[in-house]
Amino acid sequence: MTTVLLVDDEKLIQRSLEKTLLRAGFDVVTASDCKSGNELFLQNTGTINIAVLDLNMPGFDGIPKSGAGLDLLDELKKQKADLPVVILTAYDEVSRAKDAVSRGASAFFVKGREQGLVELIQKILNEK
């Protein structure tokens, strides 16, 4: 079973993505900020196959921060360098996309097309 770590502070989006991923056959663990996402990862390092992180959410200090997902990306990569990570954003920010990929993200995905995210995750995992 493939396990996805999904970290997004917007409850409706988190729930919608979780349902989509579960329907696609993935196991999903969810968190709503950097701190809890990192703790969940530490508890499940051996079972998490890919992480899907919101770009803008509360950071490690609990304060909402633009780009906090990149901080979590850095932290997860320190713990498991080959972990595939997809960064989610509500806006098509090309410079952010390049930044995320340069920091080790496998891909960047604009929210709103859940099925496209499933296809992207499957493609990334098949390349691994």
Tell me the pLDDT of the chain (128 aa) as tens digits.
899 999 999 999 999 999 999 999 999 999 999 999 999 999 998 999 999 999 999 999 999 999 999 999 999 999 999 999 999 987 667 778 788 999 999 999 988 888 899 999 999 999 97
First to last CA, the chain: 15
Place of tokens 């780009």: 67
Domains, the chain, ranges and CATH?
3-127 (3.40.50.2300)
Burial of 69 (0-12, 13-18, 19+ CB in 10 A): buried
Question: For strand 107-110 and strand 57-58, is the pairing parallel, antiparallel, or unpaired?
Answer: unpaired
pLDDT at residue 17, as a whole number: 96
What's residue 92's pLDDT? 65
What's residue 112's pLDDT?
Answer: 83
pTM beyond 0.85, yes or no: yes
